Amino acid sequence: MDTLKLAGTIPSTAFRRVGPRRVFLFPSLIAISILLFTFYRPPELSNYVVEFHGDAQLSHSQWDKLDAHLQRCEELQAPWQTYDFPPSANRTNPRWKVSSGQKQTVVLRNVTVFDGDSILPEPVDIVFAEGVVQSITSSGANNFDAVANTIVHNYHGHFVTPGLVDMHSHHLAIPWPSLESYVDDNEINEATGPLTPMVRALDAIKPYDIAAKIIASGGITTSLILPGSANIMGGEAYPVKNFLRGGEYGEEIVEELLLEHGIAKENRRRYLKMACGENPRRVYHHTRMGNAWHFRHHMARAKELREKQDAWCAAAGIARQRKDSAAAATLLAEGPYAKGGLPEELELDSSVAMLRGKIGINVHCYEQEDFEDMLLHSEEFGFRIQAFHHALSAWKVPELIKSSGQNITIATFADFSLYKKEAYDGNLWAGKILTEHGVPVAYKSDHVDENTNARYLLSQAATAHSFGLSELLALQSVTSVPAKSLELHHRVGYLKPGYDADIVVWNSHPLSAGANALQVYIDGKSTLEEKSFSPEAADNTKPGMRAETAAEDIKLFCEHPKRDESIVVTGIKNFYLDTPDIKPSASFNLTMVINNGKISCLGDQDRCISTTSTSRVITLQNGHVLPGLTTISDTLGLAEIESEETTADGYADRTANVLDPETALYTKYGIHFEGKAFNRARIGGVTRSITYPYGDGFLQGVSVGIKTAEGGNPINGGIFKDDVALHISIGQDAKSSLQTPSVSKSIATLRRILNDNKGKDTLYGKAANGKIPVVAHSENKYDILQLVKIKYDFPKVNLVIYGASEAPAVADEIASAGIPVIFNAAHSAPSEWEKKDLLVGPPLTISPVQVLLESNVTFALSLLPGHDWHLANLPIEAAAIAKEAGISSKQAIDLISIKIDDVLGLQKSERNSDFVIWEGDPLEYGASVVLTFDGDNREVVGCWPEAE
């Protein structure tokens, strides 16, 4: 009789990136088993003893069972599947099928290509067939016109990129419009607790989510669908192609959405979502210490199981090789180490895969202490982290992340931040800082609703480029970098022969303001309606970057403008102010003289300089002069960190009697004039804000008009209008008030307020008599029509509609009633039921702004509520909307400045007369504010504000 004590574990492959291809051969496992038993016997497993006999018998079915378990051992212990990189030019696309795949060869002729690495130096022709890129050659080198079964599109130099890769999305798991019964992102249940690695996003995917089509229209062809971040271990994630109903029968099938559809399931990539910090702490009320202990305790269980598995596999391999029936019977028997064979626990399957290096770990993690803690865990248990997601403080510790040796990607936001403590340290220069330290940066959407709409993923790369990230790194941040991080770079993220034919044709340089897809191909199939193109060459002008100026130079430069009474500015290329007494000359290189904060001359340099004795001259290369911009906000000055109550003014009492005007909140009493969002406003040329009480409910309160310049306060002119408008809600938000539990009740309540308060000198009386505007926050077209009817019944009421997502559907009715609109849905989404019929805009629909214009609706533009973090890009948003709607730059600027004054009926003395001098075109990425002038006090109130 031979007695062997079980060997220890097979060395972990947790940090192995590449390895031999998987081959399921029992001899290899048996050989390893013999070696382990012979040379490696750790004492901690000495109590697990298998006796080998030479004369016992085992049935064929039991041998088959042992073989099946040994096959499973091979699967468990085989290294992560690897692929050739770059792929072979003649590889096949596993998703392609004769019945449903790309039918004809497609040629994109005369295109400018970014291939995932670089921008090719000359125009090329791209050929793809059966869902794979076949060749990229110099344009005109081949004649494709006579080639059978071939479609040729001449794009006249337009920019073409690989399909974008979003490595963090929740669409399909949270479909649009979102309904409570269909939100399947977080498994939060007492029975499962905060550790749910065993759940799968696959089981939550809705293969009919309209968001997939909208996202694809933004050029995003591949997305990683992750569970949410409520749990420490959230579950497994799955990569998809954003092409609905793409199978043979055009049915809504989850499997056909998967990027690895067509690949054997055992060979598919696996990904796990984890979270640290605030989210699991908030949901389960553990501290970070408690969360760490729960995770480590769980991983210790997984480690123990892995050791048992490896020990069992080693013993079983020996038993099979020796044909020892008794030993095999022992291994297949139920006992303390196994339940009838190989030890496995479905709950721990993903966790053991972590320890074997066979699942990519993607961690929701914001702050430096949490990065460090997670790195300690990875060292303790031997797993590798693919990416830290969100990671808005990563720029503070790039060397910590780099020194881990794991090549961790930072999957982050470009400017989305400030919304909670963990996001408060977001830095607009983060992408530049991280890449300078050699840390890979990818931008991702975290797609859930209109606030994180993945359709606009590319704009994050553009924003990062404007704040110093190089052109190539910015383009890579949404293509090859996330593809590499997910280890899918053998198929997606590049536009080269052998790659999946996921290709996007752009209407301009992809990093320019308002860049939109002309066509998106997924697996070689077009997803947008084909359009004809002008033979004129495309405008692929690369946008600029914001100037980086040393703090000392800024201080020196800014000492004089704040003190000087007269300033001369040369190099003005565009002037957008409405100044009746000052008319710019026809020159494209204007000089401007400012005396005591007022423009006294605008024209040729010689003429204007002759009007002043000052020697102070500011020379610009590409000067632009704009009016001060105005934002509409529910948080600017009211909530510094929206999720932290102690940093905010607070909510209205939802139990209060809404019929009593004394219960209304007045924003003017709660305004604080400092914070990071004010900085975003200043670098975006936003000099004023109409801030209304934040929260939901029917009665929101009275808004205030504030200035964003540094040093403002309630008694030194920081408030330019105490009471701007009365804000109420008509729609789903109104239902949270105790007295308006339904939309219909909120409409009836508004009617009663207007009817019962006519002639009174109260807040409601002023609203009923038209002395203060009533801004009704409403989204749905039918709710908006109720407001139209109210306007007809109460013609004196100065009614304004805010939000107005579905207003284009009833634009004629709004215009006929003479109701002005503050429209914030130009780049919104049908993420909620009451917005399900809004226009998503080009390339899928006509621009909603174009519809409003054609119907002669009086309107202004605003960002979505809570978007103060995006104020630095307010002029960029206006520029993008202008391109989509086909309006001029001047019209775009007016929509975020003087039109807001018009809509709210501000008097002449209350209107915004501020102006801002820019270096660069603020309607394109890369411009910087140079000087900001307060039009009321006629003084410089801002000089070269620094972006944070």
Residue-wise pLDDT for 372-381, tens only, equals 999 999 999 9
Per DSSP, what are the bridge partners of residue 447? 169
- Nearest-Å Rg of the Cα atoms of the chain is 32
- 896-943: per-residue pLDDT in tens? 999 999 999 999 999 999 999 999 999 999 999 999 999 999 999 999
- 50-60: per-residue pLDDT in tens? 555 554 578 88
> Which structure tokens are listed for 213?
């089509």
Max avg pLDDT among 70-84, 192-206, 609-623: 192-206
Residue 210 has what pLDDT?
98
Contact present, 8 and 36 (Cβ < 8 Å): yes
Contact present, 369 and 391 (Cβ < 8 Å): no
The conformation of residue 84, written as its DSSP 8-state character, comes to -
Contact present, 108 and 155 (Cβ < 8 Å): yes
Residue 24's pLDDT band, with cuts at 50, 70 and 90, is very low
On the question of pLDDT at 18 being above 70, the answer is: no
Contact present, 736 and 697 (Cβ < 8 Å): yes
Write the DSSP assignment of 329-353 as a string of letters: HHHHSBSSS-BSSS---GGGHHHHH
* CA-based nearest residue to 70, from 40, 28, 38, 41: 28
Residue 340 has what pLDDT?
83
Residue 895's pLDDT band, with cuts at 50, 70 and 90, is very high
Burial 368-389 (b: 16+ CB within 10 A, else e): bebbebbbebbeebbbbbbbbb
On the question of pLDDT at 335 being above 80, the answer is: no
* CA-based nearest residue to 841, from 883, 792, 890: 883
Domains of the chain by residue range: 2-78+303-344, 162-270+359-526, 546-627+914-948, 629-913
* CA-based nearest residue to 224, from 208, 211, 210, 236: 236
Mean pLDDT for 796-802 is 99
Strands (E), 613-721: 617-627, 629-633, 686-691, 699-702, 704-707, 719-721
On the question of pLDDT at 20 being above 50, the answer is: no
On the question of pLDDT at 46 being above 50, the answer is: no
On the question of pLDDT at 31 being above 60, the answer is: no
Axis crossing angle, helix 26-39 with helix 60-77, rounded to the nearest 10: 80
* CA-based nearest residue to 588, from 565, 620, 612: 620
On the question of pLDDT at 337 being above 70, the answer is: no
Q: Which residue has the higher pLDDT, 38 or 147?
A: 147
Q: How many CB atoms lie within 10 A of CB 253?
A: 16
On the question of pLDDT at 145 being above 80, the answer is: no
Residue 840 has what pLDDT?
98
Q: 271: helix, coil or strand? A: strand
The fraction of the chain above a pLDDT of 90, given in percent, is 83
On the question of pLDDT at 12 being above 70, the answer is: no
Give CA–CA dist 556/560, Å, rounded: 8
Distance of CA 646 to the CA centre of its chain: 27
Domain 162-270+359-526 grouped into CATH 3.20.20.140? yes
Contact present, 508 and 514 (Cβ < 8 Å): yes
Residue identified by tokens 């270096």 is 919
On the question of pLDDT at 812 being above 90, the answer is: yes
- 627-686: per-residue pLDDT in tens? 999 999 999 999 999 999 999 999 888 888 999 999 999 999 999 999 999 999 999 999
On the question of pLDDT at 39 being above 50, the answer is: no
Q: How many CB atoms lie within 10 A of CB 900?
A: 25
What is the value of pTM for the model shown?
A: 0.92
- 838-892: per-residue pLDDT in tens? 999 999 999 999 999 999 999 999 999 999 999 999 999 999 999 999 999 999 9
On the question of pLDDT at 71 being above 80, the answer is: yes
Give CA–CA dist 175/166, Å, rounded: 17
* CA-based nearest residue to 814, from 824, 825, 804: 804
Residue 217 has what pLDDT?
98
Distance of CA 514 to the CA centre of its chain: 16
On the question of pLDDT at 137 being above 80, the answer is: yes
What average pLDDT does the structure give for the chain? 92
User: Lowest-confidence range among 215-219, 308-312, 362-366, 734-738?
Assistant: 734-738
The conformation of residue 114, written as its DSSP 8-state character, comes to B
Per DSSP, what are the bridge partners of residue 896? none
* CA-based nearest residue to 845, from 376, 515, 529, 523: 529
* CA-based nearest residue to 753, from 820, 699, 822: 699
- Cα dihedral 331, 334, 339, 341, rounded to 10, equals 20
Residue 7 has what pLDDT?
34
Contact present, 748 and 773 (Cβ < 8 Å): no
Distances (CA, A) of 889 to 103, 702, 803, 853, 924: 43, 32, 23, 15, 11
Q: With 0-12 CB in 10 A as exposed, 13-18 as middle and 19+ as buried, what is 122?
A: exposed
Residue 401 has what pLDDT?
98
Distance of CA 621 to the CA centre of its chain: 34
On the question of pLDDT at 551 being above 90, the answer is: no
Give CA–CA dist 813/834, Å, rounded: 19
Distances (CA, A) of 356 to 84, 304, 349, 382: 22, 13, 11, 8
Beta-carbon contacts of residue 235 (< 8 Å; ≥ 6 apart):
187, 196, 197, 198, 199, 200, 201, 227, 272, 273, 350
Domain 629-913 grouped into CATH 3.40.50.2300? no
Give CA–CA dist 823/819, Å, rounded: 12
Domain 546-627+914-948 grouped into CATH 3.60.15.10? no
Q: Do domains 162-270+359-526 and 546-627+914-948 have the same CATH topology?
A: no
Contact present, 354 and 387 (Cβ < 8 Å): no
Beta-carbon contacts of residue 297 (< 8 Å; ≥ 6 apart):
none
Q: Which residue has the higher pLDDT, 273 or 1?
A: 273
> Which structure tokens are listed for 170?
């929740």
Mean pLDDT for 753-782 is 98
